[in-house]
Amino acid sequence: MKPPHLSSFVEAGSLVFLSGQLAFDRSGRISQAGIAEQTSQVLENIDHVLAELGLNRRNVIKTTVWLKPATDFVAFNESYAAYFGPHCPARSTVYADLMLPAALVEIEAIAFRS
């Protein structure tokens, strides 16, 4: 299969738009773990992209989350809250089927470069 046609991020002025991240581990495979572990992996992947840009999670101002299935929301939200701590970016969360069958969550982010 051909890799998707996208950039991991695009900068527009002081905003940085990160493409949706899945729970790919270092070997390039999607974690077979549950939603809490997949959420943690996705957020770790976001950390890596932000670090490339000299940014961190405190620069994130908005996320969009896709969950499959919707019943995973509580466990997802616990992992998400642990990652961001007191920092609370704006967020939209929707239920959707994802492009890769093993994926339980996808998160995209918008960060602000001050």
User: What secondary structure, in 3-state letters, does 81-113 show?
Assistant: HHHHCCCCCEEEEEECCCCCCCCCEEEEEEEEC
Structural domain includes residue 105: yes
Query: By C-alpha distance, which of 6, 2, 1 is closest to 108?
Result: 6
CATH number at residue 34: 3.30.1330.40
Structural domain includes residue 10: no
Determine the structural domain holding residue 24 and report its residue range. 16-112
Residue ranges in the chain whose pLDDT is less than 50: none
Structural domain includes residue 4: no
Structural domain includes residue 1: no
Cis peptide before 69 (omega within 30 of 0): yes
Tokens encoding 67: 């969950």
Q: pLDDT at position 6, please?
A: 79
Instruction: State the burial class of residue 32 (Cβ atoms within 10 Å of its Cβ: 0-12, 13-18, 19+).
Output: exposed
How many domains are contained in the chain? 1
Q: pLDDT at position 27, please?
A: 87
Q: pLDDT at position 2, please?
A: 63
